[in-house]
Amino acid sequence: MHNSSDERRKDPRIYRNFIMSYHEKGKSAKTHDVSQVNNVSKGGVNFSSTHPLKKEAILTVELKTPFISDSLILDGFVVDCREKIAGMIYEVRLKFQDIPSEALVVLEKIEKYSKNKES
């Protein structure tokens, strides 16, 4: 656990197992990969991948949450990708870019809901 002086993030991480899909921005969404979210915040998302992703690669993610019937479509860049299980599972940190206002509202709802659940 990090103490507050070590925490660099502006937004709290929300530990929910949402489903998401992702693909390289500009490539066909038909070639997307499906994953599970480890944690998400208004700043980005941490998820698992079955293949390594290049640092600074731009991805489009489609995040499915119980707060809206449609998916959130967000773009971001890979901050880090670390091998968790040799040659099989990678942990990816993605920082969101240019978050649409509608998506920001949903991310704020997720944050608020999670805070209420912890109380």
Decide which of 37 and 6 is more confident.
37
**What is the per-residue pLDDT across 82-119, written as a single tens digit (0 to 9) for each?**
999 999 999 999 999 999 988 888 888 877 776 665 55
Residue 69: pLDDT above 80?
no
Beta-bridged to residue 90, according to DSSP, are 49, 83
Note the pLDDT tens digit of each residue in 37-64.
998 888 999 999 999 999 999 999 998 8
pTM for this entry:
0.81
pLDDT range class, residue 4, cuts 50, 70, 90: very low
Residue 12 amino acid letter: P
How far is residue 62's CA from residue 96's CA, in Å, rounded to a whole number? Answer: 12
Kindly list the structural domains of the chain, giving each domain's residue range(s) and its CATH number in brackets, ordered by start: 19-118 (2.40.10.220)
Q: Is the pLDDT of residue 26 over 60?
A: yes
